[in-house]
Chains A and B, each alone.
Chain A
Amino acid sequence: DAEITQSPRHKITETGRQVTLACHQTWNHNNMFWYRQDLGHGLRLIHYSYGVQDTNKGEVSDGYSVSRSNTEDLPLTLESAASSQTSVYFCASSEHESGGTEAFFGQGTRLTVV
């Protein structure tokens, strides 16, 4: 069965370190997204991609970067981790079409910056 997986599920890192969260999907979807979930804010969009070599900033992109070198993967990098980036991170993918198809989500990564 097709799926979308995130790794690691949990991570603790120190302030100032570079951290990369992995996202891999086997749906062959063109669209991929990274969100962060914080209490009182719901899910907020960090970065997204509509295809290989395409990346776009979301509403909370400062301090984060992504790259899309193939269809399956969209890694999220925190260039210099800050305590404000402690959060639960979700990766999602969806088909690139007009049919309003649903987005499929990974299991989430809980990141703690100490």
Chain B
Amino acid sequence: AQTVTQSQPEMSVQEAETVTLSCTYDTSENNYYLFWYKQPPSRQMILVIRQEAYKQQNATENRFSVNFQKAAKSFSLKISDSQLGDTAMYFCAFRASFGNEKLTFGTGTRLTIIP
């Protein structure tokens, strides 16, 4: 079974600064997918970024980027030029390959952007 660990329950950062959220996982799979989801106060789950394990290049989406270290089983999220709208819960999630497609989530990191 896979496990996902987020060791930072809460973080806060000044607006416009850069913040990194940590995520580690454990799996015996070789091919899998990793995701970061954002949950603002509205409770809606929003996909921020995804990474395929077979790709060595780190995924980027505008101000969001990941540092994927497959050997270390680490998948951190970097938010650059943070904005007030980034205030939310952030969940790291793991999905195995075809045929085993359920998501396993970490416990989340509550991020607060301070004006």
Contacts and interface: CB of A to CB of B under 8 A. Distances in A.
A100 B107 contact: no
Contacts of A31: 101
B102 A58 contact: yes
A94 interface: yes
Interface residues of A, number: 25
* Range of interface residues on B (Cβ < 8 Å): 20 to 34
A43 B105 contact: yes
B103 interface: yes
B50 A98 contact: no
Question: Which of A33, A88, A105: most chain B Cβ within 10 A?
Answer: A105
A105 B44 contact: yes
Interface in A17-32: 31
B35 A45 contact: no
Contacts of A94: 101
Interface in A39-66: 40-45, 48, 50, 58
Given A45-B104, A98-B98, 4 more contacts: A33-B103, A92-B45, A100-B52, A105-B44
Interface of B: 4, 6, 9, 33, 35, 43-45, 47, 50, 52, 91, 95, 97-98, 101-108
